[in-house]
Amino acid sequence: MDASIMDLLLDPQNPRLPEELIGADQPVLFQHLIEHGVLEELIESMLDNGFFEHEALIALPPDANGKQVVVEGNRRLAALMLIQRHPVITEATAIVEASDEQRRALARVPIIEVADRQEVDRFLGYRHISGLKPWPAESKGRYLYSAVNASKTKGASEPFKDVAKQVGSNAQGVRNTYTAFSLLLFARTECGHGISYLATQRFGVWLRVMNSPDIRRYLEFDRPETGEKTARSYEEVLNSLSGVNCNKLGEVIADLVPQGNNISAIVADSRDITDYGRILANTRAREALRSTRDFAFARQIILGEKLADQVNTIRKRIDNIISELRNEPPETAKELASSVDSLLRSVRLLQGAATALVDK
């Protein structure tokens, strides 16, 4: 069957949407796809070749107004809306140059109508989780989170295994992703922490964070001292979430998020996650990280480097700063001089303490 572009709606529950856009109205959804959907080549292909019949949009049944929500193919629908100069387009959106003949050819497109979202979930999950068109990490997380909860609601005794079968994955992978996404939602709803950047830009890194036993223990998600082992079942995951320490969770989230345009995240490289977990598990290293925001310095502590080697590392950094002084703007000179004075006082204290050790 086919449908008019004017009768089709973008999906406000699309798993690829950022968290803050879930449930948004049509103009907002359309503008997001225009800005982030990379539609230029898609539009050019449609104008040159028409709409490929084998890529029919998948839509829910018509609502009371005869409108159908497209649950698969939102990028293509947004491109078609732009070509057709759909009423959802704002004045600020660039107009696509197309002939009347091209618009007529694309005014109606093939669709596959499904009874409800559940009917298409298996297809979408396999295609975008394990198949040829994988979603970004955050979209996978949101989809699996919803799928697991839906499976449990329908009475599945092992929802992680049930969803894994649907998407061609394994129960452990589904559980890990569900846990990571659930913890982010817990951070926002129960602890009041901002999660937007982490969810949209670094969810893959967050997933690695939640695979670290050291970090899970630090967050009190795993609590071996109480006899609780790593959460494996759906119920165990929910129980572990309830015991998470909000303050520690906020610290970890902050360590993964840049603090401004010129200040990178403390843990900027996902390859550092293992060492980061070891730092959190070591009181001295953790306190050094908190007081200095210097990941490399904290790592020196867990690697057991001698104090003399740590001092030499600091000296080399000071040498690098000296070489960069010529690039420092004059307006920051006063702040720089104050910082150097503080450093000098610390060095003198260090010198006195070291000399006292030698004289013993």
Residues with Cβ within 8 Å of residue 166, at least 6 apart in sequence: 121, 122, 125, 126, 147
Q: What is the pLDDT of residues 201-225, one digit of tens each?
A: 899 899 999 999 999 999 999 876 5
Q: What is the mean pLDDT of residues 89-100?
A: 75
pLDDT band at 259 (very low <50, low <70, confident <90, very high): confident
pLDDT band at 199 (very low <50, low <70, confident <90, very high): confident
* pLDDT for 115: 83
pLDDT band at 325 (very low <50, low <70, confident <90, very high): confident
* pLDDT for 59: 92
SS3 176: helix
* pLDDT for 35: 85
Mean pLDDT over each residue of the chain, to the nearest integer:
85
* pLDDT for 16: 77
pLDDT band at 328 (very low <50, low <70, confident <90, very high): confident
* pLDDT for 166: 80
* pLDDT for 97: 85
Q: Is the pLDDT confidence value at 324 over 80?
A: no
CA angle 59, 136, 61 (to 5 degrees): 10
SS3 72: strand
Under 8 Å between Cβ of 207 and 145: no
* pLDDT for 312: 76
Sequence-ordered strand ranges (E) for the chain: 2-4, 8-9, 57-59, 68-72, 108-113
Q: What is the mean pLDDT of residues 226-236?
A: 74
pLDDT band at 286 (very low <50, low <70, confident <90, very high): very high
Q: Is the pLDDT confidence value at 61 over 90?
A: yes
Number of neighbouring beta carbons within 10 Å of residue 121: 20
* pLDDT for 108: 93
Q: Is the pLDDT confidence value at 228 over 60?
A: no
Name which of 267, 264, 262, 277 is nearest 332 in CA terms: 262
Q: What is the mean pLDDT of residues 24-31?
A: 91
Under 8 Å between Cβ of 29 and 21: yes
* pLDDT for 302: 87
Q: What is the mean pLDDT of residues 120-127?
A: 64
pLDDT band at 25 (very low <50, low <70, confident <90, very high): very high
